[in-house]
Amino acid sequence: MKKILITGGAGFIGSHVVRLFVNKYPNYQVYNLDKLTYAGNLANLTDVEQKSNYHFIKADITDGPLLLELFEKHDFDSVIHLAAESHVDRSIANPMEFIMANIVGTVNLLNAVRHQWKNDFEGKRFYHISTDEVYGSLGHTGFFTEQTAYDPHSPYSASKASSDHLVRAYHDTYNLPVVISNCSNNYGPNQFPEKLIPLIINNIRNSKPLPVYGKGLNVRDWLYVVDHARAIDVIFHKGADGETYNIGGHNEWKNIDIVRLVCQIMDEKLDRKDGTSEQLITYVKDRAGHDLRYAIDASKLQRELNWTPSLQFEEGIRKTIDWYLENQTWLDEVTSGNYLKYYEQQYQKR
């Protein structure tokens, strides 16, 4: 029996983690704490919301006193912390929101946990979910390992790096039982269409230009979101206190190649003539401080905890496209209102 607080559970990755834990562990009580920002959406969880071991708390992690109250009331024995502002372009436009949610929010949670657990750490765990972007940018060769020095370049990655350091500091200073994982780019159902893959799918659907930054030669290492949730499950249960685990798909793609692949599959699915969607590709001004390449060495996780990705990219990307085409109401809902304002500010000025 566990009482787990999952923060950011209404977001993209968080909703897959909540679903996995609620279904796989009926004897755990899962509390999803989320502020429901533009990226948080309870429609991501309709299939689990009626389960008796699932609970939702609408709260903001930047509110320290509220977190103390919630810990007092529910006495959580574990935390899986995913709540964050997560989009690099938004962090360039508005860094302070990232400082507040990602740094201050994380410290508030650490303080609440410390206050509640005192020095009794038996059966306790604070699991911080982070990104490979903290390691900075690679050249054309090499991989990020757990020993790679932090070298973040965007306000987003700098805020995540900062939160990772604080989580480690609370382990080293107060013996808090923490574990951290740093994962590569995720893709899959429920990702907000500000990120590359769902943005391209949505724009092809609407026959809108497909904005590719710079020359499209930046490389990302893509992992299917359900495989990330599986890794989180394994690390939460078997990872060692104080350790860091890199998670990645060994699946590097240049942006332009991904965009072309999505175009090709979408033409097929939408019964459009081969080559139709590629005509929408539009090269736009590069992102400031754009990291050239991310690639993860996940061999520690494989060696020590026996995790490997379950899905090949060709299968994962087709499943993802199918999900978006079958859930066009979801897409229409999240791309109305504020999304349109964001889109205009982000892309029309280019």
Distance CA 249, CA 228 (A): 9
Q: Does 339 bind ligand TYD (CB under 6 A)?
A: no
Q: Does 295 bind ligand NAD (CB under 6 A)?
A: no
What would the two tokens of residue 149 be? 């020095």
| 3-state SS, one letter per residue, for 54-85 | EEEEECCCCCHHHHHHHHHHHCCCEEEECCCC
Distance CA 105, CA 101 (A): 5
Q: Which CB sits closer to ligand TYD, 88 or 109?
A: 88
Q: Given candidates 28, 38, 213, 323, which one binds ligand TYD under the rule CB under 6 A?
A: 213
Q: What are the catalytic residues?
A: 132-133, 156
- How many residues bind to ligand NAD according to rule CB under 6 A? 31
Distance CA 3, CA 70 (A): 12
Task: Report which DSSP code applies to 273.
Answer: P
- 252-254: strand order across its sheet: 185-187, 219-224, 252-254
Q: Given candidates 8, 9, 40, 211, which one binds ligand TYD under the rule CB under 6 A?
A: 211
Q: Which CB sits closer to ligand NAD, 45 or 261?
A: 45
* Identity of the amino acid at 32: N
Q: Given candidates 29, 91, 116, 131, which one binds ligand NAD under the rule CB under 6 A?
A: 131
* Identity of the amino acid at 131: T
Compute the radius of gyration of the chain from its Cα atoms: 20
Q: Given candidates 196, 235, 298, 321, which one binds ligand TYD under the rule CB under 6 A?
A: 196
User: Which range, of 55-63, 110-118, 193-201, 301-309, touches ligand TYD by CB under 6 A?
Assistant: 193-201
> Residue 8 binds which entry of ligand TYD, ligand NAD, none, with Cβ cut-offs from 5 to 8 Å by kind?
ligand NAD
Instruction: State how far the alpha carbon of 88 is from the alpha carbons of 93, 95, 111, 156, 157, in Å.
Output: 9, 9, 27, 5, 8
Q: Given candidates 199, 226, 247, 295, which one binds ligand TYD under the rule CB under 6 A?
A: 199
**Segment 68-97, which members bind ligand NAD (CB under 6 A)?**
82-86
Footprint on this chain of ligand TYD (rule: CB under 6 A): 88, 185, 195-196, 199, 211-213, 218, 220, 255, 287
Footprint on this chain of ligand NAD (rule: CB under 6 A): 7-8, 10-14, 34-37, 39-40, 60-62, 82-86, 101, 105, 129-131, 160, 183, 185-186, 192
